[in-house]
Structure 1
């Protein structure tokens, strides 16, 4: 009886071990099949390459077609870009620019044929660069010809609220942009300052703070703006609470500490939008530079009552005014700390307009570097500042003249395309809303890269060479296939492959 029990136990153990071995063998076979399958997925696939390069005529030009071939272990003396489509991250919201009073006024001065060219250049997916989102100011900002609001001064009840001012230039341009984009353009809005009487400095300019007795009136102002614009046939996706809330500017500006913005959101703006039937509108906090963004995120997102109203956090790129480098890693920290919140680039432009620098390549590279690093740190959407300015970098009622990707010469009626326009296009034209970012890294700091897979299963890899030399590199997808590439000095490439 004892021998029988030992025998039975031995048989059970042996049988179990055999089953485990068989299972492990099966797993290994499945792994090998999966591995072999992965190794063969890219072989023979065709990729189309578009290039923009300094000191050449290449501007978003289709430069060549390459085929994925079997590739061996990359060596240290080779330059490589490694893409792993199996590792995906945030969904792509879109890329676009701001439609300001300045942009609309310059647009109105262009000949009709140039207006059509301009709209096609920005918003047409096939013939242009396919902008899919836009920002617009709530009443005036520095890029307006003068300061104004939508109410009469002193009207706390907002009985005189009217967007009649915007119907002359800005609203017609927004409507034309929506049409040129195929009928859909994600539009959000930002205020630069409350009306002067609502502030402690009694001035729309030079900072100041919103007075407590006007918290409710100002919150309702957003709701009235949204409803007025939507009544005109322009859906509003969302709002930011305040443009640059920590900057006292010589133009329209207003200061909120992190706690003040938090409390205005949770006690006034959020509840007011809900009460007005606008609870589905996205609210974006901060809307300022990357330097102080983490303190703002910590203060607002750690408060459950405020956080429930906040879709995400917006940011600009002007922290380099202090002489340092762009602080991209601050975005990665927010992405890790608050994974349910979204990062949105809400404004960036090249400051200090000079007409002799329309074709200054470093301006475009600043855009490419920011777009790539911002997306690689979790950003979902990217919004340039003015889509159009005149031959002086305006109009701007305080002389804060800047560059835009396209300038309209109001004297000659001509459009001037800067390299920045084409650099942005390497992303906006090919990466479409709904795309998923996938894992991509470079083996050399000279090359910056980011990658997305669109909903139609097209993979878009963008590679930027910030060095003075052309670079040969291989772009690996998965483990065993790669395409051999060459990128000119100071150039950007988009490589498109149907998976």
Structure 2
């Protein structure tokens, strides 16, 4: 039976007002990404299809319910997607985005009903169900200005205070955690140590952490975690340094592979242990896929460093050279260090231009990267800012970017971009604890990935980046549905 798509009006997802979380104590439920989960037997009676497509009103819209039939041998002149539920791989940690100072400051400027809508759109089942949250340790470029939590020169951290974050960022994070059900895996990344800890005496434009401040800087992470947890925001872990090989015009700090290895094994790891934080997860690298194998080789080959590292983080910006996305480097890490996890920690569409809110290729960049990252062993995926304003900021060095949702604070409106819906095809249907299962396509015109949730339900994501609709055989084990995906579209097929 060939799927026929009805003309449906997708519109925005239904949003509900979110109750106050002032009295709600948050908690974090983490996922062991290496533990096998026994799944119930498959029924494979029907499949529901959800579609987002260019040049249509389809936005996370249900476009059909179809019955599985007995699979037959596909022909070479047919396009097919093959799912083998008996072969499973990594365990899913979650999908989410970053609550930065910029996101929180923009959110605070919105009318209350739009604040509620934004939180619901990301963090509830009526929205796209984010389960990961990244934030920053003091300022980054997406802050209105540079700041730290200590007074200049305070090596002993006696003046440490997160008072700055209590105005905007922490209230928004509390709402997000409460709206997600109190279970939001939260981690933090620093962009630069305080200026006095660096040889160049400046948080901006690179420089390196001076050896005499290694212990003080390790203590800084502990202080940050303690103060945030006092606010009811449990921390799953940290990354050691955002983009440690990039000298940026904004807050940045350079670590060679050997420097990051030695800071981890001699200072940060032992300091966490000493302070009762051995359960906090430490992610190394937190930069692009191009140099990721070298960083993994240096750190994970050292047993004393590797024992403190949960895994390695990566971004997607290696394409700045004009080359292609390099997911195959992730496969190398999985083969070389199968006991370590891979986490996508940041990606966004650069070069903000308000005329291109609805540029479809922005969404396709998300879908392509998410499918390929997951198929190369990535356990979780974190977008950058969840919200920016109508200028692509605020950003104190004018590094303006897109986010999945923008706010026009002058009009009090939210603007949903294609990226939001593309991310939603994964985050809304794949839940923490799911296992990726074997999925391949017979033609390069389609890409696909599948996860089986702990309740036995399966979500298969299929993406078409071509200018033509494509009919395909959807074959799961010995069952089959004949399907069709529109041009420049993404689908999630749901079944159990």
What is residue 162 of structure 2 aligned with on the other side? 163
Contact 2:238 2:282 in 1 (8 A): yes
Which residue pairs with 1:463 in the alignment? 462
Report how far residue 130 of structure 1 moved.
0.1
Deviations 1:331-388 (A, max 9, x none): 0100111000000000000000000000000000000000000000000000000000
After superposition, give the CA deviation of every residue in 1:81-128 in whole Å (9 maximum; x if it has no partner). Answer: 000000000000000000000000000000000000111100002x10
Between Structure 1 and Structure 2, the one with more helix by share is 1
Q: Which residue of 2 aligns with 1:52?
A: 52
| Number of residue pairs matched by the alignment | 456
- Counterpart secondary structure, 1:311: strand
Cα displacement string for residues 114-165 of structure 1 (whole angstroms, at most 9, x for unaligned residues):
000111100002x100000100000000000000000000000000000000
Q: Tell me the equivalent position of 2:414.
A: 415
Based on CA coordinates, which of the two structures has the bigger radius of gyration?
A: 1
Unaligned runs of 5+ in 2: 1-40
Conserved? CA contact 1:290–1:315, under 8 Å: yes
Give the secondary-structure state (helix, strand or coil) at the position aligned to 2:309: coil
Aligned to 1:493: 491
Contact 1:385 1:404 in 2 (8 A): yes
Q: Write out aligned runs for 1:441-452 (5 A).
A: 441-452=440-451
Q: Does 1:341 align with 2:312?
A: no
Alpha carbons 2:42, 2:456 under 8 Å: kept = no
Q: Matched residues in 2 for 1:414 and 1:300: separation? A: 46
Q: Report Cα offsets for 1:163-187 as digits up to 9, x if no partner.
A: 0000000000000000111111110
Cα distance change, pair 41–184 in 1 and its aligned pair in 2 (3 A): closer
Q: Quick one: distance in 2 between partners of 1:131 and 1:453?
A: 17
Distance change >3 Å, CA 157–CA 108, structure 1 → 2:
same
TM-score with structure 1 setting the length: 0.91
Per-residue deviation at 1:75? 0.2
Structure-1 residue corresponding to 2:74: 74
8 Å CA contact 1:42, 1:477 repeated in 2? no
CA distance in 1, matches of 2:251, 2:242: 9
Deviation of the 1:320 alpha carbon: 0.2
Is residue 61 of structure 1 aligned with residue 57 of structure 2?
no
Gaps of 5+ in 1: 1-39
Change (3 A) 1:212 1:422: same
The secondary structure found in structure 1 opposite 2:141 is coil
- Asked if the contact 1:42/1:68 (under 8 Å) is kept, the reply is no
CA distance in 2, matches of 1:42, 1:233: 42
Decide whether the 8 Å contact of 2:97 with 2:382 is kept in 1.
yes
Question: Match of 1:449, SS?
Answer: strand
Measure the CA separation in 2 of the matches of 1:496 and 1:209: 48
1: CA distance, partners of 2:379 / 2:48: 25
Distance 1:116 1:93 in 2: 26
Show structure 1 runs of 4+ deviating over 2 A: 40-43
Determine the C-alpha separation between the residues in 1 that align with 2:387 and 2:401.
10
- Kindly report which structure 2 residues correspond to 1:21-100, keeping only aligned pairs within 5 A, or say none: 45-100=45-100
SS of match in other structure, 1:392: coil
Correspondence list, 1:282-431, <5 A: 282-431=281-430
Residues 284 and 313 in structure 1, CA contact (< 8 A), matched pair in contact too? yes
Distance across 1 between alignment mates of 2:491 and 2:483: 10
d(CA) in 1 for partners of 2:72 and 2:150? Answer: 68
Whole-Å separation in 2 of the counterparts to 1:89 and 1:142: 36
Q: How many Å apart are 1:41 and its aligned residue?
A: 6.0
Stretch of structure 1 that moved more, 69-78 or 424-433: 69-78
Distance across 1 between alignment mates of 2:169 and 2:42? 49
1:158-197 equivalences in 2 (<5 Å): 158-197=157-196
